[in-house]
Chain A
Amino acid sequence: MTTKVTRYRWVILILAIIVLGYACLRLFDMNQRMSVLEVQRLSRGPVWFVTSVEFDTLRLNNTLLKYADDQADSSDVQTAFDILWSRLDQMRRGVTLETLNEYGVDLTVYNRLASLLETTEDRVAALGPNDAEQARALVGAFEQELGDLRAAGLDVLQASLTESNDIRVDLVAIARTILVMGLILSGATFLLFVVFALDSVQSRRSLREQKALLQEAHAADIAKSQFIAVISHELRTPLTSITASLELLKRGIRTQSPATAGRLVEIAEHNCTALRRLVNDLLDAEKFESGKMEFDFQVVDLSRMLERTIESNKAYAASYGVEIVSDGIEPDVRIKADAPRIDQLMSNLLSNAVKFSERDGKVEVNLRTDTGRAIVSVRDHGRGIPQKDRSRIFERFQQVDSSNERERGGTGLGLAIVKAIAKAHDAGLTVESELGKGSTFIVSFPLAE
């Protein structure tokens, strides 16, 4: 949805601009139409002219009647005559004539009135004292046109009203169109707002992801460098011992007592074992990582396995001046497992605990069952693991402190292998630790049915 909206943002924008342009055109059109209404609202439009002509004709007649009754003089009559003339003349030219033609009104009566003015011009100019009869005769002549003038005036009024009405209908239509366009524009604006907001969120998110990836890559790079340094050290130390033992053997091959030669061979053998274990660890870690490790699950007696593993690691612990003690091993605890891998798991946990114990320290091993699970715990009394590092100690190539590793020895692969084996056995793996007091690693296997 987001991608679609984002993809069509330009279409939405262009549509919004088109709608806006069309709305402007309609508004401009409306403004033009309004000017016609403005002309009608102001005086001196066509309606004003036709009404004025009728009114001025009546006024002329009225002045003529007053003249006949001696209440007005001839100049008043002449003025009224001239005003009517000018009004009629003005009505039949300029914008007024154009509008009247547009209305399609029959203008015959106005032409007739103009002719009447021309034919009576001399009689009006010649009006003298006591020309009452003449004045009344003129009144009669003009009166004959009044009915038609009224009818023509009403026609113009009707045409004007129709025009106003048409414009009003148009204006209502335009107003409605603009309302709809306003709604469309609001919708488009809202969509664009959403699109740009989503864009902004997306770009911020991808920036964060890039940053995290970069940090991860950097961390992996550092971890790898440390790993290589550790491995080189771990490889070189036993190799140096082996080389030195063999060198001594070679030099004293004739003079050495069998006991001395035997000790040198033992040292070389011990270091070969260490080397083999290291290489095995590396290969195992890689197999676990690529998912190529194969397991042979059988029901095994975990209690006996654990005791054997403790026994076989005692010598190793002693080399660090550490004692491994059994802190309660529940007998006959059976689980479904790959025995060599469980041995590897426990050995790794024990050697890890030994390495991080102080000299003359103790590593306590416990096995108990609880709600369908066999729970093994390995406890040391070392310096403990800081809270922030607890989650990453099981990661490959990750070490709490490489200098610490150097002091204690080890590749940093042991716990990663523990985690992989535990996972393959559907076992839980947790660590509890208190700085300065030690750590406890707990593995809980499902019991065999």
Chain B
Amino acid sequence: MKILGLLGMALLCLAPTLATANPVLTITSDVKADAPLVVRYDLEDLEALAQARYDTINDFVDVPTEFSGPLLRDVLAPLSVPEDATLELIALNDYRFDMPYADAANYDVMVALERDGERMSVRENGPLWIIYPMSDHPELQAPIYNSRLVWQLTAIAIK
């Protein structure tokens, strides 16, 4: 854990996101009460991470739709999130919903940047939308997981 923590800190130091000009996603962690960590990403930072891509359905699309973007666990990697942590997802209009970090660890939960190969505007629930691979995992096609598909995501608070 200690080594991972140090690695996380090193990544943080290397990441340009601390001083990013147009942050679209701010991640805060109060898991370590004495030293909360903050990571900010702009769109380019998120694009620089490994990109996942899959077609999926959910309650908010009419037909199976292709989404792409970095996996949530990769986005959170610099913060060394404990397995049992809870993530509070916060949207542009201050809508908040909790999800367990285990979802991100066990499934390819994505911070989608694109829908059908196109960036998403605020009107199209963008620029960031949490997407679960529901077509690949039918057990995720339940009301509770649909509630976690927070769109217009702007911040994540790790608790």
Task: Judge whether A43 is part of the interface by a CB distance below 8 angstroms.
Answer: yes
Inter-subunit contact A93/B60 (CB<8 Å): yes
Which B residues, 57 to 98, have Cβ-Cβ distances below 8 Å to chain A?
Answer: 58-62, 92-93, 95, 97
Inter-subunit contact A86/B123 (CB<8 Å): yes
The interface size of chain A toward B, counting residues with CB under 8 Å, comes to 19
Inter-subunit contact A90/B143 (CB<8 Å): no
Q: Mark each residue of chain B from 38 to 62: 1 if its CB lies under 8 Å from any CB of chain A, else 0.
A: 0000000000000000000011111
Q: Mark each residue of chain B from 135 to 159: 1 if its CB lies under 8 Å from any CB of chain A, else 0.
A: 0000000111011000110000000
Task: Judge whether B26 is part of the interface by a CB distance below 8 angstroms.
Answer: no
CA separation between A95 and B58, bound complex, in Å? Answer: 9
CA separation between A242 and B140, bound complex, in Å? Answer: 113
Partner of B146, one of A44, A82, A89: A44
CA separation between A85 and B59, bound complex, in Å? Answer: 18
Inter-subunit contact A93/B125 (CB<8 Å): no
Inter-subunit contact A89/B123 (CB<8 Å): yes
Inter-subunit contact A38/B152 (CB<8 Å): no
Q: Mark each residue of chain A from 63 to 105: 1 if its CB lies under 8 Å from any CB of chain B, else 0.
A: 0000000000000000100110110011001111000000000
Task: Judge whether A290 is part of the interface by a CB distance below 8 angstroms.
Answer: no
Residues of the A chain whose Cβ atoms lie less than 8 Å from the Cβ of B144: 38, 42
Residues of the B chain whose Cβ atoms lie less than 8 Å from the Cβ of A86: 122-125, 151-152
Which A residues, 327 to 370, have Cβ-Cβ distances below 8 Å to chain B?
Answer: none
Residues of the A chain whose Cβ atoms lie less than 8 Å from the Cβ of B143: 35, 38-39, 42
CA separation between A79 and B62, bound complex, in Å? Answer: 25
The interface size of chain B toward A, counting residues with CB under 8 Å, comes to 21
Inter-subunit contact A95/B123 (CB<8 Å): no
Inter-subunit contact A43/B147 (CB<8 Å): yes
Q: Mark each residue of chain B from 3 to 40: 1 if its CB lies under 8 Å from any CB of chain A, else 0.
A: 00000000000000000000000000000000000000
Inter-subunit contact B123/A85 (CB<8 Å): yes
Q: A42-B147, A43-B97 are in contact. Are A96 and B59 (CB under 8 A)?
A: yes
Inter-subunit contact A83/B152 (CB<8 Å): yes
Residues of the B chain whose Cβ atoms lie less than 8 Å from the Cβ of A83: 92-93, 122, 152
Chain B contact residues: helix, strand, loop or mixed: loop
Nearest CB of A to B83, in Å: 24
Task: Judge whether A56 is part of the interface by a CB distance below 8 angstroms.
Answer: yes
Nearest CB of B to A39, in Å: 5
Residues of the A chain whose Cβ atoms lie less than 8 Å from the Cβ of B124: 86, 89
Closest to A44 in B: B147
Nearest CB of A to B9, in Å: 34
Q: A39-B143, A85-B123 are in contact. Are A56 and B60 (CB under 8 A)?
A: no
Closest to B60 in A: A94
Residues of the A chain whose Cβ atoms lie less than 8 Å from the Cβ of B95: 43
Closest to A45 in B: B143
Inter-subunit contact B62/A94 (CB<8 Å): yes
Residues of the A chain whose Cβ atoms lie less than 8 Å from the Cβ of B152: 83, 86
Nearest CB of A to B153, in Å: 13
**For B60, B61, B151, which residue has the most chain A Cβ atoms within 10 angstroms?**
B60
Residues of the A chain whose Cβ atoms lie less than 8 Å from the Cβ of B61: 93-94
Q: Mark each residue of chain A from 33 to 59: 1 if its CB lies under 8 Å from any CB of chain B, else 0.
A: 001001100111000000000001001
CA separation between A425 and B67, bound complex, in Å? Answer: 113
CA separation between A38 and B95, bound complex, in Å? Answer: 19
Closest to B121 in A: A82
CA separation between A83 and B153, bound complex, in Å? Answer: 12
Closest to B151 in A: A86
Residues of the B chain whose Cβ atoms lie less than 8 Å from the Cβ of A82: 121-123
Residues of the A chain whose Cβ atoms lie less than 8 Å from the Cβ of B146: 42, 44, 95
Inter-subunit contact B123/A56 (CB<8 Å): no
Which A residues, 188 to 211, have Cβ-Cβ distances below 8 Å to chain B?
Answer: none
Inter-subunit contact A90/B122 (CB<8 Å): no
CA separation between A94 and B57, bound complex, in Å? Answer: 10
CA separation between A89 and B151, bound complex, in Å? Answer: 13
Inter-subunit contact B122/A95 (CB<8 Å): no
Residues of the B chain whose Cβ atoms lie less than 8 Å from the Cβ of A96: 59-60
Q: Please report A residues at the B interface, Cβ cutoff 8 Å.
A: 35, 38-39, 42-44, 56, 59, 79, 82-83, 85-86, 89-90, 93-96
Known: A43-B147, A94-B61; 10 extra A-B contacts, CB below 8 A, are A42-B143, A42-B146, A56-B93, A79-B92, A83-B92, A86-B151, A94-B58, A94-B59, A94-B60, A96-B60
Q: Please report B residues at the A interface, Cβ cutoff 8 Å.
A: 58-62, 92-93, 95, 97, 121-125, 142-144, 146-147, 151-152
Q: Can you list 5 contacts pairing A with B, beta carbon distance less than 8 Å?
A: A42-B143, A44-B146, A82-B123, A86-B124, A93-B62
